[in-house]
Structures are given as structure tokens and as C-alpha cells.
Structure 1
Amino acid sequence: MEDLAIMYHYVQTPKWRGIVPLDPIDFELQIEWVTKHFEVVDPTDLGKQRSSKPFCVLTFDDATKDQYEVAFQILSRKGLPAYFTVMSGPFVERKVPIFHLIHAALSFFSDEQIWDELNNRYDVKDVPEKCQIYSYETSLFRRYNKYALNFHLSEQESREFLEEKVLSIFHSFENFIDSYYINENEFIKMRQAGMTLGVHATHHRPFSGDARAFFDSEIEPCRQFMREKLGVEAKWYTPAFGGGNQAERMMKELRGILENHGFVGAFTTKPGLNSGLDSFWLNRYDCISLPPRSEFPWK
């Protein structure tokens, strides 16, 4: 029997235009479907003896508040475990990662307006040819904006552009962080309820190409935060952006470092099933590719 891992981000009613969330009603319907076909377990249980059903791990990226207020409450009511990741940068440095600034900006300003402003301020003429990583976005301008701000511009350029826009809506980053992310007390409640917590990132950056430097800057500080503030010795890792454009190199070069520091596994953004813990890097299906949003993809 092969196992399933499902990737979730936002679970909320569509109140922002910059993201594509899974509606809570659909989330409950999907959990009902999952429990009919799989036994829901935490990641470590993937290595244990099977029951009559294959296993399923429910995984959550980015540590947004809706995961605590909506998904965790539903799972707790149903008595189901899940794996939630932690991002430490917003709490330690009070600094919002670029990708969440993008979500906020795209929610309150039109795609055309942002693209026009980017063209007026920066050299982005190569972006339309390179933005296929966002081919799932139906709007061309949305693809251009996400690629330009996540990958084409320097982090400093993107941050300066986005912070100006986000502050015009939220007035302070304290307001944004406190309302947008799962806080320390909420994570502790989740851990006490039996949820597994793992490392996502410090600043939510894609793999840099230097495995040791990347571990030291993006993984270890988050793990230290979890150890000191949450009482968790993290053993699972989920890379931001699935590693980004250098994901294959990341998986090859980062694995040994992770294992030497006590990590037992990590989750990719590659769709596919898994065979227990036979692989360190485990596949995941995005929640939107499963019922009720889509058909069972491997039937």
C-alpha cells in the first residue's frame, strides 16, 4: 500500500484576492473523503506497521492564523493528527517575508496596477518568458507579478516596493504579524493537542545553492526558535517554495546535513504517493487536486 501526503496552505473563506484558499466547507468534505480511504497519521507513523488502510499525512505550510482558527479546530473536533510547519522570522525579527507581502499587495491592488508600477520602476522585460512556475494562475499579470517579486527582483527591491503598499493598508507590521500568523501560545496549544510541528523557514527564501549556508540561515534559526519558545526538537522539514528553481540540487545536497542534525524526513511539493519512510524526501499532492475540488489523480 502506498501512502498519501496532502499539502495545505490557507484554509479560510476567500476574503483576500491575493491567495487561493481552500474553503472550510471543502476542507471538511476533503477530510471526510480522506478518512474513508486512509488512516490519518503524523509523519513519524509512516514507518509503522500498516492497518487495513494506507496512511495519510495532512501537512500545512506557512503558519498562517487561519490554520489555527479553522483547520486545527476542525481536526481537533475529529480527533485527527496533522503536521504544521513553523516560520520564525516574523516573530524573531518582526519582519514579514516577501511572499506574504505579495499576497497582501495582490489582495488590495489590481494586478494591472502592480505590473504597470513594476515596469515603470524596474527592468522586468524578461519576466513574461520565465514565469511558467505560476502557470496555474489564470491571469497573466498575476503570473508576471508573482515571478517578478518572488524571483526576478532582488529581495531589497521587492521589499521596498511591497512594504510601501502593505503599510498603506495595515499601518504597521505589528498589526500585520499579530493578525496574520499563528503565535507562540497557539503553537504550544497545537503541540499539546498532539499535532506535529516542523521547520518551514526563517525568512521563507528559496534554496540559495549553498547547502551549508542555507541550513545555517533558513533552517537552524527556526529550529532554535522552536526549541526555545515552543519546547519542540523539530525532526521534520518542509522547504519554502519546495526549494524553488534549484529544488533538485537542494534535495541532493541538503539531505546529509539535515540527517546529521537529526532530521528524519522532509516534504516536497512534487505530486506523488510514498512508500512509508523509504525516501527522505516525501511527495505531496496539493489539496486542490483532491476531492471535492478534483478527481482522485491516480485513478
Structure 2
Amino acid sequence: MRKVDIAVMYHYIREQNGWGAIHPLRPEDFARQIDVILQTHEIVSVDELRMPSTKPKAIITFDDGTKDQYTYAFDILRKKGVRAYFAVMSGPRITGKIPLVHLVHAVLSFTSDEELRDILIASYDVQSLSIESSIYDYETNKLRKFNKYVLNFILKETEARAILESIFNAIFPNAAKFVKEHYISDSELIEMHRAGMTIGVHGHNHIPYYNDAQHYFATEILPCKEYLERELGIIAKWYTPPFGGGEFFHCMERDLTPILLEHGFAGGFSTISGPIDDTSRFWFPRIDCNRLSPELQSLT
């Protein structure tokens, strides 16, 4: 294999167990992937990405900070002596408010796509919406893609939240219990950090990037960075934007990068697919874990 560094993107590591709106990787498959990566790459801490190496390096990255990452992924990583990078959110910890993205996952898991589509169409003029975004290209169900895109990117947060919470509250009447069970706790994050895992910023409320870099940094990034330092004693130097920056990635790359550098960030991870061909850059592409095998084969 030619010397090509990679970063691999993970979200849920768990059994699906009725959660039809998520695409989890089973724990045994995750363990198997780590073994496959180790055959060709040295899995290193994200802080070691720019260090010299005779073997291609791999970074294991996680988004969202959901509890399954502690319960299953961290346990597997620790047993294998492998370090990884976890980007987490501060909003659910501080306010108890569940980010839209996880309201969407919960509602779509226990409500039919047809029912939710009908609610959206009855409430807003979105019936003729043409979805050209590649953000949800992993969704083979066009109706599911439509629902996710409208809720996460078309409606205002207040509009989407009103629809989702009215359904969510009937399914999960105890929001505080949901937050406690759905996200890695502060004590668990400290345990992971002490075990060599890197904890980074994913945001405050998982809001997609919008074209106001200063305001976005002040409301979405800085609160999370300050929370990690103030409450957990963790100085976060790495950033993973929700949805990888979404449709405004190139604007984010241009306008947000100088602000991140000014505040001590060392780099960030997008959802753009591909290997890492230049470690001197600020933003790094990643390979989705569900596409890992063909991507690794293409690098041989």
C-alpha cells in the first residue's frame, strides 16, 4: 500500500433495536474494522496526525457524543490499545434541550415517513421541493431524505422543533431521562480523556453552519469549548462541524478557519470523502465507516 493517511468517520456503534432512522455499526463490526485498519495503518491520536511516520496513519473519529460510543466503542478501543477522537456537544448538558438532529432520529424511528411528510406539507410550502443536496446520499428512501432535509435545512429551527417536539414528547415524555441515557456523561468523558481519547468540539446545539462566521463561532463553537474547559478541565483543540459544514462548507472554510486558528484550534474534520493527502491543511476529509472496505481497497 502506498503511504496514504486516512480519517474514518463513525457515529452510532450499537444494535439498531427499533431505531430505524439511524444507521449504526454493530459493535462486533466496529471491532472488526479496527483490526482491518491496523493491518495497513498505524492508528494514532489526532494530535499525532502531523508527526512523521514510516507507516500510513489512521485517525478514528466520532461525531455527536452519544452514549453508545462510551458503552461499546470506547470499551473496544481501550481493549485494543487504540486511541480515538470524539467530538461532543454542550447544549444537551447545559440546557437539557435535545438537538434537532436527534429529535429527527427519534421521531423518524417511531413515526412513519409518510405521516411526517404529510405533517410537513400541511404546515409549510415544501411539497415541490427538489432535493439536490448530497448530504443524505446514504439514504435510499427518497421520502426519508426529504423529511431529513426539510427538518434540518429548510425550516427554521423553531419551526422544525415545534413539529418534532410535539411528536417526540408523546413517545419520550421524560426529556431529562432521554438526555441522560442518550449522551456520554461528563464523568464518562473525563474517564475517556484520561484513557488517552481526544475530546473535541462538535458544537452547542448541532446547528448547521450558516454564513455568519463570527456569530456562529460565538453561539455554537465557543460555548462548547468553554464548557469542556470549565467543567471537565479539557482544552479542546479539534473541531468537527455538524453535517461537516453542510452545503456551506467552502464558505466555512474561508470565513471560519481564521477564527478557529485565532482561538487555538489545530484542525477540523469535514464529511468530504477521501484520504488525507496533506497534513499541513486545517480541514481533513474522512471516509465514512460504511464505505471503509472499498475505500481501503482503492488505496492499494
Shorter-chain TM-score category? over 0.9
> Displacement, 1:125?
2.0
The answer for the alignment partner of 2:211 in structure 1 is 209
Give the counterpart letter for 1:263 in structure 2: F
Deviations 1:150-183 (A, max 9, x none): 1111111100100111111111210110110001
The counterpart of 1:41, out of the listed 3, 23, 44, is 44
The counterpart of 1:280, out of the listed 257, 282, 286, is 282
Q: Does residue 17 of structure 1 match 2:10? A: no
Q: Distance in 2 between matches of 1:129 and 1:207?
A: 19
Q: Distance in 1 between matches of 2:295 and 2:5?
A: 19
Give the counterpart letter for 2:33 in structure 1: Q
RMSD, matched Cα = 1.4
Q: Distance in 1 between matches of 2:44 and 2:205?
A: 29
After superposition, residues 29-178 of structure 1 pair within 5 angstroms as 29-51=32-54, 53-130=55-132, 132-178=134-180
CA, structure 1 residues 113+198, in 2 after alignment: closer, same or farther (shift >3 Å)?
Answer: same
After superposition, residues 239-254 of structure 1 pair within 5 angstroms as 239-254=241-256
Contact 2:4 2:299 in 1 (8 A): no
CA, structure 1 residues 254+294, in 2 after alignment: closer, same or farther (shift >3 Å)?
Answer: closer
> Displacement, 1:276?
5.7
Give the counterpart letter for 1:81 in structure 2: R
Contact 2:13 2:69 in 1 (8 A): yes
Q: Distance in 1 between matches of 2:34 and 2:273?
A: 19
Give the counterpart letter for 1:20 in structure 2: H
Q: Distance in 2 between matches of 1:26 and 1:186?
A: 23
> Displacement, 1:280?
0.7
The counterpart of 2:223, out of the listed 221, 224, 233, is 221
> Displacement, 1:281?
0.4
Aligned residues: 297
Q: Distance in 1 between matches of 2:32 and 2:175?
A: 35
Contact 2:6 2:58 in 1 (8 A): yes
After superposition, residues 232-271 of structure 1 pair within 5 angstroms as 232-271=234-273
> Displacement, 1:128?
3.7
Give the counterpart letter for 1:30 in structure 2: Q
Q: Distance in 2 between matches of 1:200 and 1:135?
A: 22
> Displacement, 1:208?
1.3
> Displacement, 1:298?
3.8
3-state SS of paired residue (1:269): strand
3-state SS of paired residue (1:49): coil
3-state SS of paired residue (1:81): coil
The answer for the alignment partner of 1:3 in structure 2 is 5
TM-score with structure 1 length normalisation? 0.96
Specify every segment of 5 or more residues in structure 1 that has no aligned partner in the other structure, as ranges.
Answer: none
Give the counterpart letter for 1:42 in structure 2: S
Give the counterpart letter for 2:297 in structure 1: F
> Displacement, 1:2?
2.1
The counterpart of 1:193, out of the listed 187, 192, 195, is 195
> Displacement, 1:295?
6.2
Q: Distance in 2 between matches of 1:132 and 1:11?
A: 23
> Displacement, 1:278?
1.3
Specify every segment of 5 or more residues in structure 2 that has no aligned partner in the other structure, as ranges.
Answer: none
Give the counterpart letter for 1:280 in structure 2: F
The answer for the alignment partner of 2:297 in structure 1 is 296
3-state SS of paired residue (1:133): coil
Deviations 1:124-160 (A, max 9, x none): 1243444553232111110110011111111111001
Deviations 1:208-266 (A, max 9, x none): 10111111111100000000111111110000111111111101111111111111111
